[in-house]
Amino acid sequence: MSKSAPYATFSSFVNFSNKLREDGVPNRIDKTVFGAASGSVIYSTISALKSLDLIDENGIPSKQFVEFVNASDEDRKQILRDILRVGYSSLWDSSIDLETATAGQFDEHLREVYDVKGSTVDKSAAFFISAANFAEVPLSSHLKARKPIASSSSSRKSSKQRKKNNGNDLKAENELPIQPPAPAKPLEHQLVDLMTEDDLDADVKDAIWKLVQYLTAKRAKSNGFD
pLDDT value of residue 187: 72
Nearest to 54 by CA among 23, 111, 13: 13
Please state at what angle helix 120-134 crosses helix 73-87, rounded to 10 degrees.
130
Q: Concatenated DSSP letters for 138-174?
A: ---HHHHT---HHHHHHHHHHHHHHHHHTTTHHHHHH
pLDDT value of residue 170: 44
pLDDT value of residue 114: 92
- pLDDT tens by residue, 37-46: 999 999 999 9
Segments of the chain with pLDDT less than 50: 1, 152-156, 170-173, 176
- pLDDT tens by residue, 106-122: 999 999 999 999 989 99
pTM of the prediction? 0.67
